[in-house]
Amino acid sequence: MSVREALQARLEQGVAVLGLELPVGAIQRLLDYQALLERWNKAYNLTAVRDANDMVTRHLLDSLAILPHVCGDTLADLGTGPGLPGIPLAIAAPGRQILLVDSNGKKVRFLREAIRELKLEGVRAQQSRVEDVHESFDCITARAFASLADMLRWGGHLLAPGGIWLAMKGKRPDDELRDIPAGFELRATHELSVPGLPAERHLLVLGRS
């Protein structure tokens, strides 16, 4: 079995455990993304995760675990880094307009290359601080790039009326819940089980109060 075939088996098994049905060709495109990230990572140090198997678990499956909670026609992924969870979500559920935001130039160069190579329609990358983005989105994702208070202070203006904010965290951040800014509220907390990942994962769903 080739390395790619082993990664594919790992990814397919994880997707099955998560109970997801992906579009035709999505598994291959996810693996193309992982391969591109692994290649660029050698030169540009985009992620601390270097092992290909770990990338499938910690990047692809971890991102896909929130897919059932994503909704709306527009999505912003804030502090996206090398495109997580935004690019896996774009591959797994195409048809949504997605903006990937990061302030790091190297990472945004990679994002633009990934969008081009993977032919991700409706996906854009913007090098910017979150507070300098001025659009409105039905769904916002953020993968533990800051505390809940800071996330909402910097990016709360981006959430459309009726929209939801999906904050990806490790342990349930009970200490952070007290500091949610006025105008926002916690709607739900989901404990996520990511196949192959022994660590705790929580998804916090926030909205306007």
pTM of the model: 0.97
| Run means of pLDDT, 10 residues per run, the chain, 209 residues | 97 98 98 98 94 97 98 98 98 98 97 98 97 97 90 96 96 93 96 96 97
For residue 186, what pLDDT is reported? 97
Please report, for the domain that includes residue 178, its CATH number.
3.40.50.150
Which value, to the nearest 10 degrees, does the dihedral of the CA atoms of residues 55, 60, 65, 71 take?
150
Q: What domain range includes position 20?
A: 3-208
Q: Counting runs of H as helices and runs of E as strands, what totals does the chain give?
A: 8, 7
Token pair for 24: 């035709």
Q: How many domains is the chain partitioned into structurally?
A: 1
For residue 144, what pLDDT is reported? 72
